[in-house]
Structure formats: structure tokens, C-alpha cells
Amino acid sequence: MRRMIDLKKIYKLLFGGRSGTREGDRYLLFIMLILLVFGLIVLFSASGAISYLKYNDSYRLIKHQLIGVILGAAAFYFFSTINYSFWRKTAFLMLFISILLLSLVFVPFLSAEWGAARSWISIFGFSLQPSELVKLSFLFYLAAWIVKQKEKIRDFKESTLPFFLILGIIIVLMLLQPDLGTLSVIMATSFVVYYAGGGKLRHLLLVIMAGAVGLLIMVQINPYQQNRFRCVIDPSYDSKRACYQVNQALIAVGSGGLWGRGLGASRQKYLYLPEVTGDSIFAVIAEELGYAASIILIFFYLALFYRGWKISNNSPDDFGKLLSIGIASWIFIQAMVNIGGIINLIPMTGIPLPFISYGGTSLIANLAAVGVLYNISKHTKTTTN
């Protein structure tokens, strides 16, 4: 009898039962599906030439992405079903998993280099980018830790300094790869969550300044990173090598005009634009569908952020509130950093455009995160629809 009661408690903790829950945020689901379908259409158009060149199969990359969609849908269902409060119970485990995932890229028989970064691992022929998964696992830990520190959150020694030290572990592991793009998203998301949790803006600015000094030092000792900043100031600085990608991206964006050349009519995707299916895919969108579609796409990212903000405001507890605003901020910040790099407002970072770029790990992480957000919306104090 005792065992049966324990099993019921476990079930209730994981799935939340039927009481106190409602239908999740339908608008959130709609936005997610629009981004997902749009991403598949654009990727189908962008991937044909490079897919045929590399694999002698024009549909190879889109078929792989469809596998990612299936796995991502499973991840969405899993995380949307499990009661979000369960992840607060596993906070320390989430920190351990985050550190473990980032450490795997340094294991010789697992590590797989891509370009100038060592951010991938290879398992049985399948590549995986651990840092994409860390965006969610570390967010679980950070939200739980801030809730636990609630009474001390405005104290520098008791809260801000430990926050910086915890984040510092992730920063060091990311810098060793190096993967500044993903690191910038994790840091920015962490700052938003820390501030939303009650942290002092003055203390947060000190942490940001320390991070900026560290970034400046790294850029000074790394010519590759120096060139990315130089290309923002002057894209013609080294248009054939260091600034080649940004120049081709600007050509693609500029040639699209207001309405674009037409779906499938991109010229830059024919081996002119590097990483055409990855971090450069927004340039293909702008070239084929024009500024109008590009602005609409940005609107959908804004709409997703708004739904997350609304869910956060109506969350039944602080953990749900921080988790919601963290997930919404992560996806929106990553989208804006990607687009900002393509139009040369900021240095190119090499991070994927959420739900759009080719990459199973990123897609699975995005869908899992929205699954968590959807589960929180089931428990909000008032309906978010």
C-alpha cells in the first residue's frame, strides 16, 4: 500500500495530474508551428545545391532535418507533459549535466572540430552540439538557484558573486572551444533571468563589465576574432577571406529588395554564400522573399517572446516565471544575434537561426524549450490565450 502511494506521488510530480491544469497556450503552439514549417520550406530551397555537391543527393540535408523534426517533436511532447516544477528538484543534476556536456567536446574519441571551433561531438556517425542542450539544462539550474537565493538576491557577496562564479564555469568551458556565439546567448539569457529574479542592476552591470573586459582580452589575442570585429567596421577590409561571408550575405540581402527574387531563385546559395543552410540562412530568406518576409519573420520571433513574457507574468511560482522569461529571451536573443550578424550590425557569431537553420541538435533544443514553456502555460493563474 505504501509503495502504491509513493508511485502516485511520483506520477503527480512528473505529470501534474488533471487538477489545477488547463489547456496550454494555443498561440504559442501556432507560432512554433509557423516557424517550423517556414524553416523547412526555406531549408528545402537553400540546401539543394550544397547537398548535391557534398552527398550527390539534393535532398540529403532536408531529409536529415526531418529526422530532427521528428526527434524534436518527441522532445516537445516529453517536456510539455512533465510538470515543469519537476526540473526544480533536479537543479544540481542539471548543473552537472551542463558541465559534463561542455566537457565532452574535449574527449579525443568524441570530439569533432567544425571550422575554427571544437564544439561538436560524434557518436556512431551522428554529430551533436552539446552547447545547444546546455542552453536549457543550465537554465533549469539557474532558475532554481535564483529562487533558492530569493532572500539574498540583492546581496553582492551572497548572490551576485556566486552567480558570477557559477556562470564563470560555463564561460571558461565555452571559451576553450571556443564558441563565442553560443556563449553570448547563454550569458545574455542568464543576465535577463538574474535581473528578473530580483538582482540589482548595478551588480549586474559589474558582471557585464567584467565579461566585456574578458572578451576584449580574448579578441586581442585571437586574430580570428579580431577580424570579425574589423569586418563590422569595414566589410571591405578583407573581402576575399576574413570578410567574405559577411560580404556575400550583404549582397544576398540587398539583392532581394522588398519582395525578393522569388522562392527558390536565390543566386548566392549556389556556393557563393558560406554556411548557406546554417547561420547564413537568413540571407537566403531575404534574397528570395525580400524585406517584407524578413520583417514578418522577425515579428514571429517577437510574438513568441511576447507569449513567453505573458506566461511568465501569469506563472504560479517564481521558478515558472524565471524559466518562462529565460526560454523566451533565449530564443529571441539568439534570433536577433543571428540576424544582426547577417546584416553586419554585430560580428558574425556562427549560431543558428532558431527553428530555421539546419541542425538537429539546435532544433531539438528549441522544441524541448517550447515544450517546457507550453507546460508552464498549463499551470498559469489565468488563461494566456
162-213 residue pLDDT tens: 888 888 888 888 887 777 888 889 989 999 999 898 878 887 888 788 777 7
Asked whether the predicted pLDDT for residue 11 surpasses 50, the reply is no
Sign of the torsion formed by the C-alpha atoms of 291, 293, 299 and 301: negative
Average pLDDT of span 287-302: 96
Dist. CA 297–CA 52, nearest whole Å: 28
Task: Tell me what the mean pLDDT of segment 254-278 comes to.
Answer: 90
Each domain of the chain, given as residue ranges in start order, spans: 20-361
Contact of 248 with 341, CB cutoff 8 Å: no
Please give the Cα distance from 252 to 244 (Å, whole number): 12
**Beta carbons of 350 and 181 less than 8 angstroms apart:** yes
Is 149 or 357 the better-scoring residue by pLDDT?
357
Spacing of C-alpha 219 from chain mean position = 23
Tell me the CA distances in angstroms from 185 to 30, 182, 331, 354, one per residue in order. 25, 5, 9, 12
Instruction: State the pTM of this model.
Output: 0.89
Comparing 214 with 47, the larger pLDDT belongs to 47
Residue with the larger pLDDT of the pair 27 and 126: 27
